[in-house]
């Protein structure tokens, strides 16, 4: 009997979701180290000194008028100059080169902000992982997905009727 975690099909739908267990914790720790190596600046220093905002689940169009958003679209030369100064300061804070056109700087900083966001998410997951949670998760992994249970019960009923 194959459970949800055994499927390689990317279109497979199931109620399971990633849960913190020893394997996932080890993978997260490894990825955190890789992300820390990719980000040149200290995350805590950046968090306290940074003035720019990265809105993860908000469409770019709705952030285009927010002057502190990475997706800001200046409408005049003064706004463009202020935004350029902001981008340069943020890139210097992160140890990146502040040279280039506004669009290039914006793309470079956006890549940095995405890395930082991903790193923060991994750190949050690792921070909230406890031994009790891991034990509970190991037990939960022993229970098959509800979809598989329903299928198995249906097959059993059909086989009993046919016999």
Reported as a single tens digit per residue, the pLDDT across 108-131 is 999 989 888 888 887 777 766 666
pTM of the model: 0.59
- The number of C-alpha atoms within 13 Å of 163 and in the hemisphere containing its C-beta is 6
Q: pLDDT value at position 108?
A: 92
Q: Residue range 7-20: average pLDDT?
A: 56
Q: pLDDT value at position 135?
A: 65
Q: Residue range 118-146: average pLDDT?
A: 68
Q: Which of 114, 104, 106 is nearest to 90 (CA)?
A: 106
Asked if residues 43 and 120 have their Cβ atoms less than 8 Å apart, the reply is: yes
What tens digit of pLDDT does each residue of 81-110 get? 999 999 999 999 888 888 988 889 999 999
């Amino acid at each position: 009997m194959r459970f949800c975690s055994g499927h390689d099909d990317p279109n497979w739908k199931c109620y399971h979701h990633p849960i913190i267990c020893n394997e996932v914790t080890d993978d997260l720790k490894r990825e955190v180290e890789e992300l820390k190596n990719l980000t040149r600046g200290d995350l805590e220093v950046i968090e306290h000194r940074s003035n720019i905002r990265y809105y993860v689940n908000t469409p770019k169009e709705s952030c285009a008028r927010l002057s502190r958003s990475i997706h800001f679209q200046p409408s005049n030369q003064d706004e463009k100059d202020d935004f350029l100064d902001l981008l340069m300061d943020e890139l210097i804070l992160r140890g990146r080169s502040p040279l280039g056109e506004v669009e290039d700087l914006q793309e470079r900083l956006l890549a940095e902000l995405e890395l930082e966001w991903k790193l923060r998410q991994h750190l949050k997951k690792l921070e909230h992982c406890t031994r009790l949670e891991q034990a509970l998760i190991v037990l939960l992994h022993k229970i098959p997905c509800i979809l598989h249970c329903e299928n198995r019960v249906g097959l059993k009923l059909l086989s009993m009727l046919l016999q």
